[in-house]
Amino acid sequence: MRKIAVLGGGQLGMMMQESIGEMPIELHFLDPDPLCSAKAVSEHVTLGSFKDEETVMAFCADKDVITVEIEHVNLQALYRLEEMGKEVYPQPAVLECIIDKGLQKQFFADEFIPTAPFELIDSGKEALKAGWKPPFVLKSRTGGYDGKGVQVIRSVSDMVKAFDGPCVLEELAPIKKELAVIVARSIECEMVSFPVVEMDFEPELNLVRAVLSPARIPDEVADKAREIAETLIDAWGLVGLLAVEFFWCEDGSLWVNEVAPRPHNSGHHSIEGNVTSQFQQHLRAISGMDLGDASVQGAAAMVNLLGAAGHQGKPFLENEELLKKEPKAFLHDYHKSETRPGRKMGHLTVLSEDVESALEKALELRKKLNYVKSST
């Protein structure tokens, strides 16, 4: 039985635990929240900060493998653990490169990975001085997530809101579709990529509405995306998962947008939609097992279930009983102790014969499945 330390006990950790099945491994989580998602499914949750060097050192001392379910952990501790001979995946040097969007983009450029043309600047406010004319995109080098660190500057007047801090300044991509590929690489350097998925967007709000699997794109585009994802994970020598987000541009080219070295929102459908889920694949890769078959078992649509506007407090999911009549709809509740407007509280995957009908059913159910404040 191998003991794996997981830094973070959020929903990704919870779904790792749920994917273990017969694998000879035991997961141990470190999280500062006594009511984190992993707590609902595991007895091995230690309370503490994954950002504190000595807490991480003490927690990992008796574990065989160390992994993360969130990028913002104490890197110094990970380097020390690696030096002591522990298996740390993702490797700290890769993690350090990925958490800084500037270093990440520079790596793409150095490895000839196609990406939006860019420049690194000390402050977003200096974009015009650097000779750029709108439209362009500003990305805060560190700390951004779920679109919060991204600004589309469409005109000079938008510059009043420009980030005041180190940024990636990049061309606005002429996007036809946003795609993603999750690729796994094992300790033995075996690589398996999941079939490409497609992000479906809210028509007006420009927010991701659903993840559709498989993507409705020509085979040659899918093959190219998987090839780029495999080139990238191999170039980093990363052991574990790499989620690679792409822009498929109007002229047919594929640009890598950004990556994450862990299970990702764009792979949640794989729990029911693929032979092996992304969570099990991650655990296989980092614990020295052969990788699983990642192929699609059925068309799938995955929607995030967010906390309803105007509700904060103990969560209650409205209309959950509707799912009893939907054998191909799978709810994953993240067991969070508090709902807040827009917080990711769970997700729903619907399988169907094609992605259009899966999407239609997922959206119909999502309208009724609201996380509100419990009245009890």
Q: How far is the CB of 178 from ligand ADP (least distance, A)?
A: 6
Cβ-based nearer residue to ligand ADP, 69 or 258: 258
Cβ-based nearer residue to ligand ADP, 109 or 172: 172
DSSP string of 36-50, one letter each residue: -GGGGT-S-EEES-T
46 close to 24: Cβ distance less than 8 angstroms:
no
Cβ-based nearer residue to ligand ADP, 304 or 352: 304
Cβ-based nearer residue to ligand ADP, 136 or 334: 136
Cβ-based nearer residue to ligand ADP, 16 or 244: 244
Q: Are strands 65-68 and 87-88 parallel, antiparallel or unpaired?
A: parallel
Q: Which residue is nearest to ligand ADP (CB)?
A: 173
Q: How far is the CB of 173 from ligand ADP (least distance, A)?
A: 4
Q: How far is the CB of 174 from ligand ADP (least distance, A)?
A: 8
Measured over the CA atoms of residue 75, residue 79, residue 80 and residue 82, the dihedral's sign is: positive
CA distance 93 to 72: 13
Cβ-based nearer residue to ligand ADP, 59 or 108: 108
Cβ-based nearer residue to ligand ADP, 30 or 196: 196
Q: How far is the CB of 349 from ligand ADP (least distance, A)?
A: 20
Closest CA to 135 of 177, 102, 170: 170
CA distance 72 to 253: 32
Cβ-based nearer residue to ligand ADP, 145 or 320: 145
Task: Map tokens 């889920």 to a residue.
Answer: 277
Q: How far is the CB of 132 from ligand ADP (least distance, A)?
A: 12
What angle in degrees, to the nearest 10, is found between the helix axes of 278-286 and 11-18? 80
Q: How far is the CB of 202 from ligand ADP (least distance, A)?
A: 11
Closest CA to 11 of 20, 29, 23: 29
Measured distance between the N- and C-terminal CA atoms of the chain, rounded to whole angstroms: 42
Q: How far is the CB of 358 from ligand ADP (least distance, A)?
A: 21
Q: How far is the CB of 268 from ligand ADP (least distance, A)?
A: 15
Cβ-based nearer residue to ligand ADP, 149 or 261: 149
131 close to 118: Cβ distance less than 8 angstroms:
no
Q: How far is the CB of 177 from ligand ADP (least distance, A)?
A: 11
Give Cα separations from 346 to 12, 15, 250 (angstroms).
11, 11, 33
> ∠ CA 280-146-20 to the nearest 5 degrees?
10
Give Cα separations from 231 to 35, 135, 237 (angstroms).
39, 31, 10
Cβ-based nearer residue to ligand ADP, 236 or 248: 248
Residues that bind ligand ADP (CB under 6 A): 116, 137, 139, 144-150, 170, 172-173, 175, 178, 245, 257-258
Q: How far is the CB of 244 from ligand ADP (least distance, A)?
A: 11
The tokens for 291 are 């990788």
DSSP string of 307-353, one letter each residue: BPTT--BSEEETTGGGGGG-TTEEEEE---S-B-TT-EEEEEEEEES
